[in-house]
Amino acid sequence: MSVQGSLDQQWARVRGRLKDEVGETAYRSWLKPLTVADFEGGQVRIVVPTRFMRDWIRTHYADRIKALWSGENPGVQSVEIVVAAPSRVAEPVGAPAIVANDSPPPRHEPEPEPLPVSHHGGSEDRADELTAPLDPRFTFENFVVGKPNELAFAAARRVADASSVTFNPLFLYGGVGLGKTHLMHAIAWHIRKKDPPRRVIYLSAEKFMYQFIRALRFKDTMAFKEQFRSVDVLMIDDVQFISGKDSTQEEFFHTFNALVDQNRQVIISADKSPSDLEGMEERLRSRLGWGLVADIHPTTYELRLGILQQKADRIGAKIPPKVLEFLAHKITSNVRELEGALNRIVAHAELVGRAITLESAQDVLHDLLRASNRRVTIEEIQKKVAEHFNIRLADMSSARRARAVARPRQVAMYLAKQLTQRSLPEIGRKFGDRDHTTVMHAVRKVEELCGSDPAFAEDVELLRRMLEG
Ligand code: ADP
Ligand code: MG
């Protein structure tokens, strides 16, 4: 009895692990009905109600059960699946919802590859299991629109409002923390509210990959594809993570094509434009760029300030405009950090029960500000920028005004302003004794160009990252 007792406990743990791996629905259909009969001579015998289930479990889950079980108990050398009674036609116990393709009707003889069952309710389960939770704050209402993100915002709105497919795919791209995920969630919220029957799936490319690899392991790629069949809108976030993984890429490509062919809306995000996605197959790259490609540019001061104001209003915090301006000025890397800084200031003020001032803000963010001015020197900036644009370092301080050297010089001034603590006059001095108004002009010019010229914005962003990293 005690052996059986501990056997049952082991089985409970194995089942728990399996459930985590295969998900609730597959678990309910396939694994829950299993019972453990006995353990003898290193072999565990598991009983299933039907022959069909026996075969299915053998091909799909037995190896995994064995592996998990020997992890629990090294004495377990094999797992045998047996049918309880003479094979009667019976519904698997505890599997009321026959789900898409990983549970074909048990009445049929087993087939090498199971046939998909078009059972809408069923695949809904699967889909809802697949989709990642949505952040309630990530709505269109909470998204502040400015020059750098107006195209992406307009495209997202359009897709969310349209009842038929507009641009397919919509490809959103931009640096870290600039609002890609926010916009995707906003689309999903909007559709859910406006048109609940439309099926929206949002998931990260990592999760997509994970699901697919799991399907491969359980030899269940048909079920994997089936999950996406009844989807109206599919969003995959951060597809740069798919690059390099050959089979996943292939699968992604097929899923993608199938959905686009069926006129389903696909929305993709990445940190680069389709053509710049390295490690991605050419045909996939070009396919991704077929619809509308909308980029989100690095934030401008105005946008940062707008976001801070909105956020402060939303949390009902009284923050002097000076403090918001200071933050918008100092924290330029991305919106996520900007929000983080604001939260910290507010939390601190509440904690110590004092009003927020410029001094307290500087104090609280002391480490963060130092990190964002991470020891980068103006000399380093000049050197990197000169290399990048292929001009002589001496031209950073020379009097030459040709565009080919003047523009890189402006970029270097801009970066010096962003990445160091130096004042405008100090920066000016380092650039061949130029006036502080020249530096100010350079900063404005570069911000303006970042807003109007995506390639230029990318250059600047790239340089910034190189210098910061
Ligand atoms: P990404 O997916 O591009 O890395 P996120 O969408 O996760 O970035 O955005 C990071 C954070 O910044 C989120 O909290 C998001 O709400 C916020 N954010 C980004 N852009 C905006 C914006 N324009 N207005 C309001 N919040 C924004
Ligand atoms: Mg994101």
> Distance between terminal CA atoms of the chain?
61
**Minimal-distance CA residue to ligand 1 atom 9:** 179
Considering every ligand atom shown, identify the ligand nearest to the alpha carbon of residue 341 and give its number.
Answer: 1
State if residue 37 touches ligand 1 by the CB under 6 angstroms criterion. Answer: no
Instruction: Specify the pLDDT at position 259.
Output: 87
State if residue 144 touches ligand 1 by the CB under 6 angstroms criterion. Answer: yes
Instruction: Specify the pLDDT at position 110.
Output: 35
Backbone phi and psi for residue 459, each to the nearest 5 degrees, phi listed first: -55, -50
**Minimal-distance CA residue to ligand 1 atom 14:** 336
Among 84-88, 260-264, 434-438, which stretch is predicted with the lowest mean pLDDT?
84-88
Does some domain include residue 439? yes
Q: For 93-142, how does the pLDDT look when each residue is reduced to its tens digit (9 = 90+)?
A: 333 222 333 333 333 333 333 333 333 334 444 555 678 889 999 999 99
State if residue 148 touches ligand 1 by the CB under 6 angstroms criterion. Answer: no
The residue with greater pLDDT, 255 or 441, is: 441
Average pLDDT for residues 55-73, to the nearest whole number? Answer: 83
Instruction: Specify the pLDDT at position 32.
Output: 79
Does some domain include residue 113? no
The residue with greater pLDDT, 200 or 48, is: 200
Residue 270 is classified by DSSP as E
Domain ranges, residue 15: 3-83
The tally of CA atoms less than 13 A away on the side-chain side of residue 450 is 30
Six-digit token pair at 210? 């994970």
Residue 133 is classified by DSSP as P
State if residue 445 touches ligand 1 by the CB under 6 angstroms criterion. Answer: no
Instruction: Specify the pLDDT at position 50.
Output: 66
- C-alpha to C-alpha distance for 46 and 38, rounded to whole angstroms: 7
Among 135, 140, 173, 178, name the best residue to mutate to test ligand 1's pocket (greatest count of ligand atoms within 8 A of Cβ). 178
Q: For 316-325, how does the pLDDT look when each residue is reduced to its tens digit (9 = 90+)?
A: 988 999 999 9
Edge-to-edge strands of the sheet including 35-40? 35-40, 43-48, 78-83
Residues 6+ apart with CB under 8 A from 325: 305
Does some domain include residue 68? yes
Q: Specify whether 212 is located in the same domain as 143.
A: yes
Q: For 183-196, how does the pLDDT look when each residue is reduced to its tens digit (9 = 90+)?
A: 999 999 999 999 99
Instruction: Specify the pLDDT at position 398.
Output: 94
Instruction: Specify the pLDDT at position 54.
Output: 78
CATH of the domain at 282: 3.40.50.300
Q: Where are the alpha helices (DSSP H) in 23-149?
A: 24-26, 51-60, 62-72, 120-130
The residue with greater pLDDT, 33 or 258, is: 258
Q: How sure is the predictor about 51, in pLDDT bands with cuts at 50, 70 and 90?
A: low
Q: Specify whether 214 is located in the same domain as 138.
A: yes
SS3 state of residue 467: helix
The b-or-e profile of 8-34 (16+ CB within 10 A means b, else e) is eebbeebbebbeebbbebbbbbbbbbb
Average pLDDT over the chain reads 83
pLDDT at 162 over 50: yes
- C-alpha to C-alpha distance for 100 and 29, rounded to whole angstroms: 11
Does some domain include residue 98? no
Q: Specify whether 129 is located in the same domain as 257.
A: yes
CATH of the domain at 337: 1.10.8.60
Instruction: Specify the pLDDT at position 293.
Output: 93
CA 238 to ligand 1: nearest atom: 2
Q: How many domains does the chain have?
A: 4
pLDDT at 203 over 80: yes
State if residue 300 touches ligand 1 by the CB under 6 angstroms criterion. Answer: no
Q: Specify whether 160 is located in the same domain as 222.
A: yes
Of 55-69, 101-115, 116-130, 266-280, where does the model show the most confidence?
A: 266-280
